[in-house]
Structures are given as structure tokens and as C-alpha cells.
Structure 1
Amino acid sequence: MLTSSARIGCRNAAAPAALHSRSAQTFKAFYATIRSLRNTYEPPEPDDVEPSEKDFILSLLRANPSLRDTKSYLASFGPRPKPPQPPAPNPAESPLLADQDVDAQTETKPPDIKPATSTVVASILNPVYRRTALVKLQAPFTDRQLESIARGMIYLEKLGLVSVIVVENDQLAKGEGGERAALTEEAMRVVNALENQGARARPVLGAVVRLGPRPGDEDSSEPRDYVLPEAHTKPSDLIHIRSALRAGEIPVLPPFALDSFCRSVRVDANDVIAALVRGMGEAAALDHTQGHGDESPTTSHDEIDLTPLRLMIITREGGVPSYARQGLPHLLINLTSEYSYIRETFDPRWKPAHPTALNNLELARTCLAFMPPTSSAVMVSHRSPSSLIGNLITNRPAVSSSLPHALLQGNRKLTPHTPTLLRRGLPIRVVRRVDEIDKPKMKALLEQSFRRTLCEDAFWERMQRDLDFVIIAGDYAGAAIVTREQCPAGTPPAVAPITYLDKFAVLPSHQGDGTVDFLWVALHDETYGLGLPFSANPNGGKQGAGEGRDLVWRSRADNPVNKWYFERSTGHVRQGDWVLFWCDAEVRLKTEEGRRANAGLSYLEEWERGRLASWNDVVMKIPSSWKPKT
């Protein structure tokens, strides 16, 4: 998904003609991307059209998992290490076998010839360890829509993720006569749709959760940033769900709960799901506690790990509308730092098309608080069963949120039905003084991320002199360090000083959990995206107020991260063992676009002259922060 501008490279930055030519190509390509914003989106398919993802293997290939994604999937669903087996007795030394003909035991026997198969493919298609997902089906759906959803549930089951489905009906008002029968009928429609697609499903029509907060919650003074569920469940209440899962069946529940008089009443499906997420996690922890040694009940063939690994909210409306994309869905949400801001910027005009978006956002925040840190939630339209496979295998959004904004706007994959991926995430903050940095933690982060030893004295002396700001994720799980590099006298004002990305680091334990994208989006909002309305970073810093500046950085030519940089930069120049990257200030580009009446640029602009030569002259002289390798 590289733009033409991101592929630009120059062999020699000192050659003015080459630089001018390449720079002109850069901006011509960029404006071509900007002009694509005028293209209209292709209309979505009607609800009753057969979805194109008919083949399970094709859906796997479309997920396009990376090596890290595959390893993460196998860690959750692949075979567990087996305990060492005692060595087999030597027949010649065993008294019980001494009188037997050893040669007869080893008589020639044709060897078993097994076809060579990919370990990764075999593990994905034959998961050993089964996990659970909580699924909210926000009905009503047509029969064809349920057929598409059921196909997605079956795909997930083949990959080892078994769904526990709670069915809601938005069009059925609470308190109406016959609502219980209508919800039961809706659950049976889902069961029939699953069985018609070849799955085994079981309706669980009795209440499995209890109305009201869990005993002890009201007395707890523990600080929390989520809303406690209005219902709860005990491990003994999950017997019907356990029974269905052991039998290889998908449990389907209507939103019923037991009140204080032990009557089964209709409640909000969000309360049922939140109670199940919490209760199933606690039941799974109890299972492991009661296990014997290394063998826990969840490792046997008829058991399944009850800890919810995913929360899936399947609706007709899709993901959460984004202020940064004129109402198209958010791609990736850091609930810890973005939840309040998303609610504040929710346009009332989106309400008719997305009536439950904010309630589902709150549901995701509550549920993820009780799920493992690696878990995620996805809000998806009924049109995209294959996107559930992509989310399961990669645990990434359909389109990266850290890609250039213009590229996202022109991306045909970004439609009103693009899923929204939600992670618990980490707090993001911006600091501007060295004395606000925890130096030991920052040192540990940099050294673990780069696997090098930091020259501490020289590094902190340089930061004291040149630091612009640092973006910190969580408790130093990741950081982006930006400096302001001074240029020689006579450098054009549009170039000096240089906004330089000195370090971009994420702990290995947080690579793949969204921290990289969260950091880069915050970096965009504080540098080259500053000044645009969608760059009002809710994580501190300048809050979108100010003038954007070009962001420049360098990377070793053999750095495997360069592919990621190519996709996010405006352009790059190769300099021997290094690659110089940059992102152009987006406000300036939009201003120039308007001045040119959307015609784009076909020649070198005055403010561009000398940029690459100045960047190369300054950036390539920045000393290394690392001690020499021994």
C-alpha cells in the first residue's frame, strides 16, 4: 500500500538536478493522492447479495498474517509443550524382555511415509487448544444476513475460536407483550442458521446471569475507568454453556437474567455479555487453580479454555464513526486514552445511522477490563465475515490507523463497513523537559528495543540541549523522542530547525498489541499533522493547535522496520548504509493544493529548494547514541 511518493529514492543527495526532479515527483505523486479524495466510494453491496468470501482457505489467505501474527496465533491455539517422557527401556537390558527375540521386535517393517506439510498451515487448520469468544448479535437480521454471519462463526470455530452468542433485538421495545417469545424465536433463528451451515448449535434459553452487581463490588474502593456490569454470574451458573462447549456446540443465548425473586426477565444484552466475560474469566482461573501440576482441565480434549479471547459486536451499523474521517469508522481505538475524546467528538448527525455505537464502545471498555491484555474487541458489520478471520489471526485492524491520512482517505478498503478494532491500550502523554523523563526506565526501554547499550552521558547531554518533546506510552512501554536540530546559517526558514525523530522504541512485549500504531498517530498529531482539525491529539501536547513541520528521520538500510517506514513516509533518500525518511507537513500541502486549484504541483516549489541537501548535511552528522558492538 505504498504511495508513489513513498517509493522515491535518490542515489546522491548532492546532485541538485536529481534532487529537484525527485522532489517534484514526490509532490506530484502526493497531490495525486490528495486529488483521489474527490473520488466517491463504491456503493456497498445490498444485504441480500451472496458474500464473496465463499472459501475458507481464501479467507485465510486474505488475512495475510505476518510471521509475528502467526507466532501469536500459534501461542494461543497451537499445541502446548509436552512434558518430557521417560526413556523407553532397552530390551536387551530388561529382565522381562531378556528371553524374547529382540530381532523379532525390530523386524523389517515399511516405514511410515508422511507427506511434508507446513507446520504453520497444519497448526492453523488443526488447532489443538480451543478458546472462546463472546459475540453480540445485534438483530434483527434477514435470513441471508444470518447466513453470512453463521459462515463467519463456523470459520472461527475451524480456527479454534468457539463463539458464545448473545442475541439482541433493537427493534423490540422493553416491556412489550410477547417480548420473551420474540427473543426466544430470534435465538432459534440464529441456531437454525448455524446448523444450516453445518455447525452444531445449542439454544440456552434459561437465564445464566443474575441481575444486579456482584456481591462486594459496591464496597470496593478500587479505582476503575470502566462501568461495572449490572449483572453477574457464578461458576455454577455456567453449567449449560460448559456442557454445550464440551459437546462441540455453539451456545446461543437470549438476553435474560434472574432477578432477586429468581424470575427470568429481559435485560440489556450488554449487561449479559459483560457479566459473562467476567464470570467466564473467573471460572477459567478457577479451573487452572484446581488443575493438577502442569495438567489443567483445559488441556483435555473435552474441555475448552473459558477465558474470553475476543469480543465481537456484530451489527448492521458497523464500527464507531471517526471525527478524523468525516464519519467513516475508526480503525483502531486505544480505549485508555481515547474513550472520553471519542464520546465528546461524536457528531449528533451520526446518531440515526449509528444509534448504538457509543453503548457498544462502553461495552468494549468494560469487557476488555476483565479480559487478558492481549485480547481485543471488534465492532463489525454483518457484511464482513472474513474480517473476523483477519482479526483472529493478526489481531490488527483491517487498515493501519498510522498510515498517512491522505492515503487512508483514498483507500478503497476504508468504507462505512470497515471494522473498528478496540484495544484496552495504554495512556499516552507528551513531555517536553528532560527532568520529566524517568531516565532508568527510558534507558531500559531503548536498550531492550534496539538491543544495544546506550552511551548514557552523551545521550542525556544531547537531549538536554536539543530535546523538543517525548511521547510516552504507558509505563515506558514505548516512546517517540523528537529533537530540534539546528542548521547552518543561511538555511531557508522552512527547513530550519529540523524536526528530527531521534528514537522510536517499543518494548518487545508490546510489539503487536497496537502500541506502535498508537505512538505513531500521536507523533503525527504533534509534528507533520499538527494544525489540522483531525490532529487534536487527546493525549496532551499541543491539542492540534500550531503549525505542522516536516518530520525527518534516518534508519539503517538493512533495518527490517524500513518496510513499515516506507508506507508511512512521504519520501526517502538512500545514503549508503542509511535511508533518510521524511513526512511533509500536511497543512502546507493542503494550502498549496488550494493555491493550485487542486491541479497539483509539476515543478519544484520555492520552499522545497535545498531541503534534502540540508537534511542530509545535518542528520547524517548526528552522532550515534550507542556504544560500539563488541
Structure 2
Amino acid sequence: MNTAPSKRELQHFLKRYVPQPEFTTSHIVSGTDTSRISTSSAHHLKSPQKYVDALLSPSAHQLAVTKVEGPFEKQGWDAVGSTLVKLQKLGLTSIVVSDNAQWSTEKESPAELNKTMVRETMALVESIEKAGGRARLIHGGVLEQGNNGTIEAQLDFILSALENRQIPVIIPVMTSEGGRQEPITGNQVMVSLTTKMVRRQSNNSPVPAKIVVINNEGGIVNHEQPDTAHSLINVQEEFDTIVRAFDENATWQQRYPTAIGNLEMIRNCLSDLPTSSSAIIVPTSSLPSALIANLVTDKPLYSSSLPNRDSQRINKLRTTVLRNGIKIHNYDNVDDLDLEKLTRLLQASFQKKLDENGFYERLRHVLAGAIIAGDYEGAVLMTKEGQEGHYYLDKFAIAPTSQGIGLTDILWKRMCDAYPELLWRSRQDNGVNKWYFERSNGYLRLKDTNWVLFWYGAGGFRHIDNYSTIARSIPASFTGPLITL
């Protein structure tokens, strides 16, 4: 409850992770009197308490592939075990890979290293069972050496554990061609498991909803804001920039030795998974709240599109959410845009009929730039207005099918980086205004109109008169509600 999800986020969570009973969740969420529940539904569940118990019954219909990267102190192990059990009760069961960056540097023999890995992994198994869960230690029989040095995953032991509502805990060892148990890295196991599970989709086997890394380091350090972690990473767009920043900073390589390895592993996993899947890196000090909040809201703990006014808040939980993301394209000419796709996007996003002739004719004269996400899954249209050439946010649109994957934050941040001073307007009854208030540097309700003027940029208040004139002068883009047959 402390995650305080919005109604939309809560509905998304319940739909995805919770088996629905015969009556709707609104009876519980809105506090509706149980006397309104139908007789058959009331007989089936008998009381809201049983409904809550049903919500918290362990299930494995959504899966996470989770790397637990120790070693931890006892308190850390307890936090990990308790969190994994709580996530299972909320509908997300983890396939756990035990790991320790020091294992790959050990000089002891493979046989001795195997014993060390088993001993340390048992601490994780015990923490799960101490928290009231059931765990199954899996040592061997999962990873096998394939052709050309590849690693092939076998899921039989894992699926058996899941069917028995156990959390499988895998020791990262591979069976070589000679039958020996050879230690490998946790990242290799994570990629092999994800690849195998994606290939099994034809057998109605679930694919991971999340890739999770629990460690001591926390999230990926933010090269743009030293001493803070990235809140959200669009892997397709930001991977090379982050790796380059680490290459140029030897101190980071020493302080965060597993960061780039985890980033590469997550990129490989997410590239095979649906766009709805995401990854999260979280330190034990942020458990369980960081993972539960992300599970319920499916968002970063701190929006990357918010102004960075409170670095302590950004860095407090040192948690990074990662999505495979979408390629972003920039255009500065209307003729380079696919107007048919853009029209479909704008109408689907605003649910209004676009005045195509009037809108695009105006755009040909004033377009400053268009930021297009993927195959027109999102768009930012910027114009240049007035004699001073102020940048005006004419349209910000996200396709309904692409909502909830972090695209809004990705596009907003890209826009603000490209246009450090800009303005836009919104109708006073627009439900999005709260979001705008949080991201603007100032606003003004325009008298005798239904518009609220917003601006972004520290110096925007100096241009209020010009901004007001521009906001009042922009013609309407839509002719009426969108009618679909």
C-alpha cells in the first residue's frame, strides 16, 4: 500500500499478476460495501478477508529471472529471502541465479570452488525458507556445454520446482562435454535461461516479465549526475554512451566493478523479450520497497523526466530500471515524416479527429523539429513561434499500445535536452496537468481562455508576455471527437 499506485497502475498490476475472482476488484479498492456483492460471488469467497488471502496466495503465472549477487551480511541475506517470498505472494516468482563476483577470481581448484559456491548459496536458500517460502537448490543439470562453446539451458528441474511452488535457486555451474561440473558466471546463466524460455513460447511456457539483479552496488551510476544512479535506462539508445563514460572513468570501474557486465547481460536478455518486459538493479539496502514498488507500478521509483531538483531523492534508493526501449529518430522537415502514420498516432493518442490539411500546412512553415520513437509509437513536434523564435511544444503523443513502457519519460527527457527553453499549453480540465505541473518551471492560467500556459527553462519567466501571446494564437489542431466504427 505504501507504493501509492494510481488507479491505472493498480488496474495494470491486478490484470497482469492477480487471478481475477468472480467479482471485480473495484469492490475492494473503492471500499464498496460487501452487501453489494452478488450472492453467488459472496458465497464463493464469503468475505473480503478471503479475497485478500486469494490475492496473497503464491502463484507462478509471472516469472522473473533474478541474479542475487553476494556476498551479503546476515541482514542482507534476510532481506533478499523475505523480498523473494513477498514477490511470490504478489504473483511474481523468481528463478534465482546465485552469484558472487569473487568466484571468478578464486584461485582454488574447480572442485573446491564448487564447494564454496554451494556453501554460500545455501545462505540464500535458508533465507527464503526462514521467511516462510520454499526453495529448491539446483546444482547441475540445468546448464550444458553446447556446440561452438555455447551454453544450453535445460528447464526440467526449474519447471518442476515452480509446479511445486518452490523458488528454484541455481548454482552457476555447467556440465562440460566430459561430464565435469565447471563454474561459469551468473551472467552467462541469466542469458542462457532467458534465451531458452523465449524459445519455449510455442509450448505456452511463460517468458520472464522481469530481469532482476540484487547486489551491493546498486543501480548504474549516472554519468550526467555524479554520485547518483540512473533512474531509467533506454538500453537501445543509451548503452554506448554509458559504456563510453565508464571507459573514460577508471574510478567508476573500481567502485562499480559489476555495472557494465550487468548492463551487457540485461541488454542481451531484454533484446529477446517482449517490450512489456523490463529489468531492475537494486541494492539490498533498498529491499523490499524498491522491488515491490516497481512490481506494482511498473515504473522507476523516480521519473527520469522530472527536473533534477533533489539529488538526494534521486539517489536515495540507488535503483535503476532498464527497458530495451525504442530507437529515437530526429527530423526537421515535414516532407521527411510519414504523415499517414503520424496522423494515426495523433488521433489515437488524443482520441480526436485531426484537421490534417490545416495542421500540416501550418507545420510546414513553423516546424523546428520532430522526435519520433520507433515506428511512430511516440512523437514530439516542436515549432518555432513569434519574431523571437520561441520553441513551442505543439504535440506530445504516445500510442495507447506503447503506454506503460517508459516511453513518455524517454521522449520528454530527449525533448528537454534538445530544447532547454520551451513553452506549451494545456486545457484547464486536462487530466495530464498534474504531470505538467511537476515538470514545468512555471505556469500561468490565461485569462478569458480555457488554457494553462506552461514553460520549461530557468529563464522562461522573462518571456511571459511573448509566451502568452503565442499560446493564445495557436490555431486548434482537431475538429472534434474521433469516431470509430
1:315 aligns with 2:215: yes
Give 2:152's aligned residue: 232
Tell me how far apart the structure 2 counterparts of residues 119 and 519 of structure 1 sit (CA, whole Å).
43
Give 1:403's aligned residue: 306
1:507 aligns with 2:399: yes
Partner of 2:352, secondary structure, is coil
Give 2:10's aligned residue: 70
Give 2:31's aligned residue: none
Give 1:183's aligned residue: 117
1:133 aligns with 2:64: yes
Partner of 1:188, secondary structure, is helix
Give yes or no for contact 2:60–2:92 (8 Å, CA) kept in 1.
no
**Cα distance, 1:451–1:81 mapped onto 2, change above 3 Å:** farther
Give 1:211's aligned residue: 145
| Cα shift at 1:508 | 0.6
| Cα shift at 1:469 | 0.2
1:484 aligns with 2:376: no
The correspondence for 1:578, drawn from 451, 474, 477, is: 451
| Cα shift at 1:342 | 1.0
Give yes or no for contact 1:329–1:416 (8 Å, CA) kept in 2.
no
**Superposition pairs of residues 420-499 of structure 1, within 5 angstroms:** 420-487=320-387, 496-499=388-391
1:252 aligns with 2:166: no
**Cα distance, 1:457–1:266 mapped onto 2, change above 3 Å:** same
The correspondence for 2:260, drawn from 349, 354, 358, is: 358
Tell me how far apart the structure 2 counterparts of residues 579 and 119 of structure 1 sit (CA, whole Å).
47
1:287 aligns with 2:203: yes
Code of the aligned partner of 1:522: R
Percent identity, aligned pairs only, is: 35
The correspondence for 2:234, drawn from 314, 321, 334, is: 334
Partner of 1:210, secondary structure, is strand
Tell me how far apart the structure 1 counterparts of residues 343 and 113 of structure 2 sit (CA, whole Å).
60
The correspondence for 1:615, drawn from 458, 463, 467, is: 467
**Cα distance, 1:232–1:474 mapped onto 2, change above 3 Å:** same
Tell me how far apart the structure 2 counterparts of residues 369 and 336 of structure 1 sit (CA, whole Å).
9
Give yes or no for contact 1:551–1:584 (8 Å, CA) kept in 2.
yes
Tell me how far apart the structure 2 counterparts of residues 467 and 580 of structure 1 sit (CA, whole Å).
20
| Cα shift at 1:608 | 5.0
Tell me how far apart the structure 2 counterparts of residues 403 and 121 of structure 1 sit (CA, whole Å).
35
| Cα shift at 1:169 | 1.7
Tell me how far apart the structure 2 counterparts of residues 483 and 356 of structure 1 sit (CA, whole Å).
43
| Cα shift at 1:74 | 2.1
**Cα distance, 1:270–1:257 mapped onto 2, change above 3 Å:** same
Tell me how far apart the structure 1 counterparts of residues 168 and 183 of structure 2 sit (CA, whole Å).
18
Tell me how far apart the structure 2 counterparts of residues 242 and 428 of structure 1 sit (CA, whole Å).
38
**Cα distance, 1:471–1:127 mapped onto 2, change above 3 Å:** farther
Give yes or no for contact 2:227–2:315 (8 Å, CA) kept in 1.
no
Code of the aligned partner of 2:474: I
Tell me how far apart the structure 2 counterparts of residues 114 and 143 of structure 1 sit (CA, whole Å).
40
Code of the aligned partner of 1:275: S
The correspondence for 1:387, drawn from 290, 294, 299, is: 290
Code of the aligned partner of 1:169: N
1:628 aligns with 2:480: yes
**Cα distance, 1:472–1:122 mapped onto 2, change above 3 Å:** farther
**Cα distance, 1:620–1:63 mapped onto 2, change above 3 Å:** same
Give yes or no for contact 2:385–2:391 (8 Å, CA) kept in 1.
yes
**Cα distance, 1:620–1:502 mapped onto 2, change above 3 Å:** same
Give 1:14's aligned residue: none
Give 1:153's aligned residue: 84
Tell me how far apart the structure 2 counterparts of residues 417 and 579 of structure 1 sit (CA, whole Å).
34
**Superposition pairs of residues 585-604 of structure 1, within 5 angstroms:** 585=458
- More helix per residue: 2
Code of the aligned partner of 1:614: N
Tell me how far apart the structure 1 counterparts of residues 45 and 171 of structure 2 sit (CA, whole Å).
47
Partner of 1:325, secondary structure, is coil
**Cα distance, 1:623–1:497 mapped onto 2, change above 3 Å:** same
1:243 aligns with 2:243: no
**Cα distance, 1:411–1:245 mapped onto 2, change above 3 Å:** same
Tell me how far apart the structure 2 counterparts of residues 567 and 120 of structure 1 sit (CA, whole Å).
36
Tell me how far apart the structure 1 counterparts of residues 272 and 370 of structure 2 sit (CA, whole Å).
31
**Superposition pairs of residues 13-162 of structure 1, within 5 angstroms:** 61-79=1-19, 112=43, 117=48, 124-126=55-57, 130-162=61-93
Give yes or no for contact 1:310–1:376 (8 Å, CA) kept in 2.
yes
Tell me how far apart the structure 2 counterparts of residues 167 and 129 of structure 1 sit (CA, whole Å).
20
Give yes or no for contact 2:394–2:424 (8 Å, CA) kept in 1.
yes
Give yes or no for contact 1:572–1:580 (8 Å, CA) kept in 2.
yes
Code of the aligned partner of 1:281: V
Partner of 1:338, secondary structure, is helix
- Please list every run of 5 or more consecutive structure 2 residues that lacks an aligned counterpart in the other structure: 23-41
| Cα shift at 1:398 | 0.7
Partner of 1:74, secondary structure, is helix
Give 1:197's aligned residue: 131
| Cα shift at 1:81 | 9.5
1:171 aligns with 2:42: no
**Cα distance, 1:272–1:379 mapped onto 2, change above 3 Å:** same
TM-score by length of 1: 0.69
Deviations 1:456-477 (A, max 9, x none): 1111111110000011111110
Give yes or no for contact 1:316–1:381 (8 Å, CA) kept in 2.
yes
Code of the aligned partner of 1:618: I
Deviations 1:334-354 (A, max 9, x none): 011111111112232112220
Give yes or no for contact 2:381–2:393 (8 Å, CA) kept in 1.
yes
- Please tell me the root mean square deviation across aligned C-alpha atoms, in Å: 2.4
Give yes or no for contact 1:76–1:129 (8 Å, CA) kept in 2.
no
The correspondence for 2:439, drawn from 568, 573, 578, is: 568
Code of the aligned partner of 1:622: I
| Cα shift at 1:193 | 1.2
Tell me how far apart the structure 2 counterparts of residues 123 and 190 of structure 1 sit (CA, whole Å).
27
| Cα shift at 1:113 | 10
- Please list every run of 5 or more consecutive structure 1 residues that lacks an aligned counterpart in the other structure: 1-60, 83-110, 219-228, 289-304, 488-495, 529-549, 589-606
Give yes or no for contact 2:370–2:380 (8 Å, CA) kept in 1.
yes
**Cα distance, 1:120–1:522 mapped onto 2, change above 3 Å:** farther
Give yes or no for contact 1:331–1:397 (8 Å, CA) kept in 2.
yes
Give 2:193's aligned residue: 276
Deviations 1:89-134 (A, max 9, x none): xxxxxxxxxxxxxxxxxxxxxx959777499967753576621111
Tell me how far apart the structure 2 counterparts of residues 123 and 474 of structure 1 sit (CA, whole Å).
40
Give yes or no for contact 1:74–1:123 (8 Å, CA) kept in 2.
no
Deviations 1:296-350 (A, max 9, x none): xxxxxxxxx5421111111100011111111411100001111111111223211
Tell me how far apart the structure 2 counterparts of residues 264 and 455 of structure 1 sit (CA, whole Å).
67
Code of the aligned partner of 1:564: W
1:520 aligns with 2:412: yes
**Cα distance, 1:397–1:573 mapped onto 2, change above 3 Å:** same
Give yes or no for contact 2:18–2:91 (8 Å, CA) kept in 1.
no
